[in-house]
C-alpha cells in the first residue's frame, strides 16, 4: 500500500480505442486513473463515433471500469 502523501513521479494513464476497420485510434492520457477520467474518455469516444455505429468495449476487471456511473454509460 502507498502512503497518503505518495506522489506518482513521471507516470500517466493512457486510455485508447482502436477502430479495426479503419485503423484509426482515439487516445488520451490522464494524470490519474479514476472513473472520472475514464468517463471523460468514454465521452470522447461518443463524440468521435457515429451514433448509429455499434460499439464494443473490451475492458479488464479494474474497479474503475465497474463503477455505477461507468455502467450507466
For residue range 9-61, what is the model confidence (pLDDT) as tens digits? 878 889 999 988 889 999 999 988 899 999 999 999 999 999 998 888 899 99
- Give the pLDDT score at 2: 81
Sequence spans of domains, the chain: 13-72
Name the 3-class secondary structure at 14: strand
Q: Where are the beta strands (DSSP E) in the chain?
A: 13-18, 25-30
pLDDT on residue 31: 86
pTM for the whole structure: 0.76
Check residue 9 and give its pLDDT: 80
pLDDT of residue 47: 94
Distance of CA 48 to the CA centre of its chain: 14
pLDDT computed for residue 38 by the predictor: 94
Amino acid at each position: 500500500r502507498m502512503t497518503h502523501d505518495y506522489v506518482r513521479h513521471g507516470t500517466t494513464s493512457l486510455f485508447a480505442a482502436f477502430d479495426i476497420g479503419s485503423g484509426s485510434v482515439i487516445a488520451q492520457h490522464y494524470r490519474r486513473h479514476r472513473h472520472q477520467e475514464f468517463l471523460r474518455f468514454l465521452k470522447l469516444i461518443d463524440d468521435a463515433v457515429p451514433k448509429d455505429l455499434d460499439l464494443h468495449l473490451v475492458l479488464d476487471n479494474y474497479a474503475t471500469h465497474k463503477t455505477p456511473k461507468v455502467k450507466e454509460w
